[in-house]
């Protein structure tokens, strides 16, 4: 009876070498606390920021991929607030001239509209330990993109899928690892309920979710909580909430600053950054094939809809598939099947990433081709996959171990004659129309070939030999 209305604010950590406004390394991982800091990101008096050109370019890539409008100059603003892990007591962000406005992300046949995206710097990290708070400022000043959607999402699953699509997109663009577990993709979710057709209801914002599952669970919880309130005739209070993984519940956080509290004003230490159209054109020309275009291409190649979608939004798999396809050895659908079912299954079982194995797209394509040409059975192909992960060559393995299917019809026909002669009763039954008796003969031929013959071929040869068409 109520419909959920959901809008997301997504923070993506950009994969630049250096921070947004200084030369410190941008990736805080692996360094001891406070190793990656300098006067600029520590906010020391007199230190001056310099915008990171690569970060702007990465931002432009995303803006263009989403079809957002990019202004001809970017302006940075100060967003003032006090927090221990924010050394300058303000964050350099963007306000009225952001990196991009508008655009959309295709999702299940719909378009989820993007309101805006802007560049900003990350804060540091507070570690609360036994009543003390420790600060690690390695992350302070790292480049972030914040992307804000219109309230176009309707279900928790959809919100989660949207984030997964954004993750695939930025990974495809090569601008962010977007790994939630590393804090490189974080989301705030806004949700209200209404009766379908009514104006938007009062929303709450659940802040700082750092897993896809967390996003979905927080939204599910809020839907339950708000539904109960509205059913009882009460109102939803506008609020900023946190989410506790353990209990699966949201809880009130600080009362949120109003926009005026941030006292946004243009950053006086940074002149506007011009975005010449020629630069924009260059960035656009350098965009890789986007996931939704990939999906179309896979479908045009005859790959099933579901598979085309799964592959197009899995950057590592689709890169691998594209190379495997380029050899023209195996059919697209067979490659897709073996990739999505057998290979992914095996990788999951072993907790391995495709890139961490020695399997090459060529070896993979050759394995699938051996199977497609009927030279090995699917059982044999599956059995070889683990060794292919270790860099082995499929043809060499098949040859060395005699795993090839007996595909030589002449040889098989002689075997079939032998088996018929050895099992006259079964043969007679088949001739008299008891087709089921064929299975016994088939089983015997398969045994003689150590299971390497193609059952459909043997069956045909048996039927021919016994005159049962
Ligand atoms: P705020 O000023 O509280 O940050 P905004 O209008 O900037 O709110 O919107 C922030 C996010 O909340 C956007 O993603 C937007 O789509 C979403 N949003 C706005 N109004 C609603 C609503 N009534 N219900 C759900 N989401 C909303
Ligand atoms: Mg907001
Ligand atoms: Zn620095």
What angle (nearest 5°) sits at the alpha carbon of residue 440, between those of residues 436 and 442?
Answer: 95
Could you tell me the distance, in angstroms and rounded to a whole number, from the CA of residue 245 to the centre of ligand 2?
Answer: 22
Is residue 6 within 8 Å of residue 191, measured between CB atoms?
yes
Model confidence, pTM: 0.87
Tell which residue, 39, 29, 20, has the closest CA to residue 120: 20
Could you tell me the distance, in angstroms and rounded to a whole number, from the CA of residue 240 to the centre of ligand 1?
Answer: 12
Question: Which atom of ligand 1 lies nearest, measured to the CA of 152?
Answer: 16
Ligand 1: residue of 94, 154, 203 to mutate (most ligand atoms within 8 A of CB) is 203
Is residue 159 within 8 Å of residue 22, measured between CB atoms?
no
CB neighbourhood size of 384 (10 A) = 22
Please name the residue whose Cα sits nearest to atom 17 of ligand 1: 7
Could you tell me the distance, in angstroms and rounded to a whole number, from the CA of residue 28 to the centre of ligand 3?
Answer: 12
Tell which residue, 82, 76, 67, 112, has the closest CA to residue 94: 76
Rounded to whole angstroms, what are the CA distances from 297 to 138, 166, 313, 464? 42, 20, 13, 43
Question: Residue 412: its pLDDT value, please?
Answer: 85
User: Which residues, 6 or more positions from 167, have their beta carbon under 8 angstroms from its beta carbon?
Assistant: 178, 185
Could you tell me the distance, in angstroms and rounded to a whole number, from the CA of residue 191 to the centre of ligand 1?
Answer: 8
Please name the residue whose Cα sits nearest to atom 6 of ligand 1: 150
Question: Which atom of ligand 1 lies nearest, measured to the CA of 5?
Answer: 25
Buried b (16+ CB within 10 A) or exposed e, 23-40: ebbbbbeeeeeeebbeeb
Question: Residue 255: its pLDDT value, please?
Answer: 66
- Cα distance between residue 295 and residue 311, in whole Å: 8
Question: Which atom of ligand 1 lies nearest, measured to the CA of 191?
Answer: 25
Could you tell me the distance, in angstroms and rounded to a whole number, from the CA of residue 41 to the centre of ligand 3?
Answer: 4
Question: Residue 52: its pLDDT value, please?
Answer: 98
Ligand 1: residue of 81, 93, 104, 151 to mutate (most ligand atoms within 8 A of CB) is 151
> What sign does the CA torsion over 391, 394, 399, 402 have?
positive
Domains of the chain: 3-197+257-282 (no CATH), 289-401 (no CATH), 409-466 (1.10.10.410)
Question: Which atom of ligand 1 lies nearest, measured to the CA of 200?
Answer: 23
- Cα distance between residue 347 and residue 112, in whole Å: 33
Q: Find the distance separating the first CA and the last CA of the chain, reported in whole Å.
A: 62
- Cα distance between residue 172 and residue 176, in whole Å: 9
Question: Residue 270: its pLDDT value, please?
Answer: 97
On the CB side of 200, CA atoms within 13 Å amount to 15
Locate 59 and state its tokens.
């931002």
- Cα distance between residue 139 and residue 266, in whole Å: 23
Could you tell me the distance, in angstroms and rounded to a whole number, from the CA of residue 256 to the centre of ligand 2?
Answer: 10
Is residue 374 within 8 Å of residue 454, measured between CB atoms?
yes
Taking the chain (469 residues) in runs of 10, the rounded mean pLDDT of each run is 96 98 90 96 95 98 98 97 93 97 96 98 93 95 98 98 98 97 96 96 96 98 98 94 95 75 95 97 98 98 97 97 98 98 97 95 97 87 96 92 76 89 94 91 88 85 90
Length, in residues, of the chain: 469
Nearest listed ligand to the Cα of residue 238: 1
Could you tell me the distance, in angstroms and rounded to a whole number, from the CA of residue 148 to the centre of ligand 2?
Answer: 8
Residues with CB under 6 A from ligand 1: 5-9, 148-151, 190-192, 200-201, 203
Hey, which residues does 236 pair with through a beta bridge?
A: none
Tell which residue, 287, 367, 245, 238, has the closest CA to residue 61: 287
């Amino acid at each position: 009876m109520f419909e959920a209305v959901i809008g997301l604010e997504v923070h993506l950590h950009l994969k630049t070498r250096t921070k947004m406004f200084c030369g410190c390394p941008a990736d805080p991982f692996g360094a001891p606390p406070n190793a990656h800091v300098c006067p600029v990101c520590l906010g020391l008096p007199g230190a001056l920021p310099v915008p990171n050109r690569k970060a702007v370019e990465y931002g432009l890539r995303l803006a263009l991929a989403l079809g957002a409008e990019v202004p001809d100059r970017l302006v940075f603003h100060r967003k003032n607030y006090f927090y221990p892990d924010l050394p300058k007591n303000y964050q350099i962000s963007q306000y009225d001239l952001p990196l991009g406005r508008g655009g959309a992300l295709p999702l299940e046949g719909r378009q989820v509209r993007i309101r805006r995206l802007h560049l900003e710097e990350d804060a540091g990290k507070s570690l609360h330990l036994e009543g003390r708070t420790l600060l690690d400022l390695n992350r302070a000043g790292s480049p972030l993109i914040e992307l804000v959607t219109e309230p176009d999402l309707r279900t928790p699953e959809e919100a989660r899928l949207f984030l997964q699509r954004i993750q695939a997109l930025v990974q495809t663009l090569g601008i962010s690892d977007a790994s939630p577990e590393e804090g490189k993709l974080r989301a705030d979710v806004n949700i209200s309920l209404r009766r379908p057709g009514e104006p938007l209801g009062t929303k709450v914002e659940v802040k700082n979710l750092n897993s896809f599952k967390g996003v979905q669970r927080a939204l599910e919880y809020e839907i339950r909580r708000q539904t109960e309130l509205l059913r009882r005739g009460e109102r939803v209070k506008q609020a900023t909430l946190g989410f506790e993984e353990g209990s699966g519940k949201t809880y009130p956080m600080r009362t949120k600053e109003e926009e005026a509290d941030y006292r946004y004003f243009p950053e006086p230490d940074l002149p506007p950054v011009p975005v010449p159209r020629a630069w924009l054109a260059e960035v656009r020309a350098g965009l890789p094939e986007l996931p939704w275009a990939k999906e179309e291409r896979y479908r045009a190649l005859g790959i099933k809809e579901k598979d085309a979608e799964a592959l197009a939004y899995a950057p590592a798999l689709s890169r691998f598939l594209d190379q495997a396809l380029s050899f023209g050895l195996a059919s697209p659908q067979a490659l897709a099947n073996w990739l999505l079912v057998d290979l992914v299954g095996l990788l999951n079982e072993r907790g391995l990433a495709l890139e961490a194995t020695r399997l090459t797209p060529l070896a993979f394509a050759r394995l699938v081709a051996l199977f497609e040409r009927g030279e090995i059975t699917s059982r044999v192909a599956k059995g070889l996959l683990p060794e292919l992960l270790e860099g082995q060559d499929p043809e060499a393995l098949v040859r060395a171990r005699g795993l090839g299917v007996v595909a030589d019809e002449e040889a098989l026909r002689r075997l079939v004659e032998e088996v018929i002669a050895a099992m006259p009763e079964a043969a007679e039954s088949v001739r008299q129309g008891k087709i089921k008796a064929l299975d016994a003969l088939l089983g015997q031929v398969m045994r003689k070939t150590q299971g390497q013959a193609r059952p459909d071929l043997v069956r045909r040869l048996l039927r021919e030999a016994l005159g049962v068409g």
